[in-house]
Amino acid sequence: MDETLADLVACEDALTFVNAAVTATGQREFHDDAWRQVLSLGFLHDYTRENYRHLYAAALALGVNDHNATLIIRNLLVHAAAVDADRRRAEGRLIARRLELLPAQRVYKLFGELRRLGVNNRRTRAIMRDWLAARPDPAFDAVKYRGRLKVAARHAHLRLRGETGDFLFAPTARKRFETPMFESWRRAHHEQAAIYDLPYTVAEGFAAKHGVPRAAFLERVEHRMTRLERLRLQENARARKVEAIRERADLPGMGLTRLATYALSLKLDDRAARRAELTRALRTAALRAAGEQAGRWGAVAAVLDDSYSATGSAQKRRRPLAVALACHHLLEALAAPGRYTAHWTSGRGDALLLYPFGPTPLGTRILDALDTGPDRLVIVSDGWDNAPPGLAAEVLRVWRTRLDPGRRVTVTHLNPVYDAEGFDVRRLAPTVPTAGIRDAEDLPVLVELARFAEGRAGLAELTAYLDARVARFLEQP
């Protein structure tokens, strides 16, 4: 009995960490300050790494966000003295694979952190060398991340010969570079036309140096922007009510959650005017995210939180609402045709014109959703049930213990907001499994993972599940 209890405690600890690593980013939330998140998250990382290192590393194969992925990688490399060779090799493969998926700027920042911490063992240097060697455009990296690449090259003891080495460490030693990107950088110091052949963030600095008017610069450099840079610039311009660049978002190529975030950043009139375009793009992205599971979930009812707390924070503006909107479209794609119903806490029915407003009557909306007779009920909310407080927990308790003890209806709560004080995402009821969510694309996996939170599975079963996830993660192209 003691061993079984220990397994259940370990299982709960592991799931608590996964929930935090999926949702928390160390930034301010609607109900929490940033410093509370940083302290809470730091404790969870140390506790899980020290007590469940195998599960801690396996989290890299799950939908943990980039912030926590870099923390896991850093901690595994820093605290490796007592780890055996087999475990180091397994962790090395996970680290290398996750580094391939991280944005380059995060990886370079991580390398700088490892240098600051004095982590310079053979495994760390090999991981850094392999990642740098696999970069698709080394010249682009050398120009855009010049300072950070220099730090990484020195720390990994790389011998950079030829033009790359000269560009990084002795750029004035050559009067001309054969590599076009390097030559554009050299010419941009004294020639305005050359700055438009450089990455946007680098060109921006040269434009300021030459005194190029902002509007003229943005018009000419737009072709060098990435999709995210263009969207970020447009969102900032809208927030400041100034004109930046013309709207030209690549909607078909955007991920579902990113697309929902973009749609919510538009004014209500713009959303209404572009209803057909935005709806088509959201449904296409949802079908892409659903994959082979599209239409296979039977009757699905969703309770979705668009209350005032879905505003998020200055760092995560409307992020909870964007996740709920993206989940709405994904659940519609997963449900059998014509078997999906959405119940927003505000009572509104036009998903595209939503905005954060009002209290959170989760209990009432859960009753409405269960009344449709679904096979699955998915609740997407930060868990702050306040109209009236506690009604959702009581409804779910009575439903599970008296009306549906056989668990005919699968109920899952997905929470996009980390609760720093509770070291976890806020739960609605002990009888309902809760999982953290950051991107709607991870919803099918998180619903599957949430079943371990019901207390009916132990550590061995969770470990087997994670091992299978790790194997699939490492085999992905």
User: What are 371-420's pLDDT values in tens digits?
Assistant: 999 999 999 998 888 878 889 999 999 998 899 888 899 999 999 988 87
User: For residues 26 and 433, is the Cβ–Cβ distance under 8 A?
Assistant: no
How far is residue 423's CA from residue 387's CA, in Å, rounded to a whole number?
25
How far is residue 288's CA from residue 251's CA, in Å, rounded to a whole number?
13
Contacts 24+ apart (CB under 8 A), 148-151: 148/105, 148/108, 148/109, 148/111, 148/112, 149/108, 151/108, 151/111, 151/112, 151/115
Residues 8-14, mean pLDDT to the nearest whole number: 79
Whether the pLDDT of residue 1 is over 50: the answer is no
Q: Residues 55-74: pLDDT tens digits?
A: 999 999 988 999 999 999 99
Q: What is the pTM of this model?
A: 0.84
Flag the least confident range among 26-40, 280-294, 400-414.
Answer: 26-40
Domains, the chain, in order of start with CATH, read 190-251 (no CATH), 256-458 (3.40.50.410)
Q: Extract the tokens encoding 359.
A: 């209290």
Tell me what pLDDT residue 171 has. 87
Closest-CA residue to 190 (of 175, 178, 200):
175
Whether the pLDDT of residue 452 is over 80: the answer is no
pLDDT band at 2 (very low <50, low <70, confident <90, very high): very low
Residue holding tokens 């119940």?
A: 343
How far is residue 413's CA from residue 434's CA, in Å, rounded to a whole number?
5
Whether the pLDDT of residue 234 is over 70: the answer is no
